[in-house]
Amino acid sequence: EADIYQTPRYLVIGTGKKITLECSQTMGHDKMYWYQQDPGMELHLIHYSYGVNSTEKGDLSSESTVSRIRTEHFPLTLESARPSHTSQYLCASSEFGRDYGYTFGSGTRLTVV
C-alpha cells in the first residue's frame, strides 16, 4: 500500500469557503505533485515541488496555492472555493534521480456547491 496519504477523502463545501487539502508522505521523497482530474479524464499538473521551500506552478492554471515547509507535507489551499473547482485532486511523490515512477495518494474528491 502506498505511503502517501490524502485527507479528506471526500469534501463538500459551499462557495466562497477556504479549504486546505492535505497530503503527507512517509517515504522521504523530495519531489511532490498535485494533479487535478475530472472523472474519466486526463491528469493536469497544477503544482509541484522539488523540496522544502520549493514550489512551482504546473501546466494547468489554478487558483490554488501550495506550501512545502516540511519534506513530508505538501498541502494545497483554495482561498475561495467555486463550483468550477469541483474535481478530484491527486497528490503524488517521487524520488529525485531515481526511475521509480510516482506514488499516488487515493485522492480528494471535492464538490463545491
Is residue 34 a contact point for another protein (CB under 8 A)? no
Q: How far is CA 94 from the centre of its chain?
A: 13
Characterize the bridge pairing of strands 76-78 and 65-66: antiparallel
Stretch that binds another protein, among 13-21, 62-70, 73-81, 104-112 (CB under 8 A): 104-112
Stretch that binds another protein, among 14-22, 29-37, 64-72, 73-81 (CB under 8 A): 29-37
Find the binding residues for another protein in span 40-79 (CB under 8 A): 40-43, 45, 48, 50, 58-59
Size of the residue set binding another protein (CB under 8 A): 29
C-alpha cell at 14: 459551499
| Nearer CB in complex with another protein: 60/79 | 60
- Supply the DSSP string of 13-76, one letter for each residue: E-TT--EEEEEEESS--SEEEEEEE-TTS-EEEEEEEEETTEEEE-SS--S-EE--SBTTB--E
**Residue numbers at the binding site for another protein (CB under 8 A):** 2, 6, 31, 33, 35, 40-43, 45, 48, 50, 58-59, 88, 90, 92, 94, 96, 99-107, 109
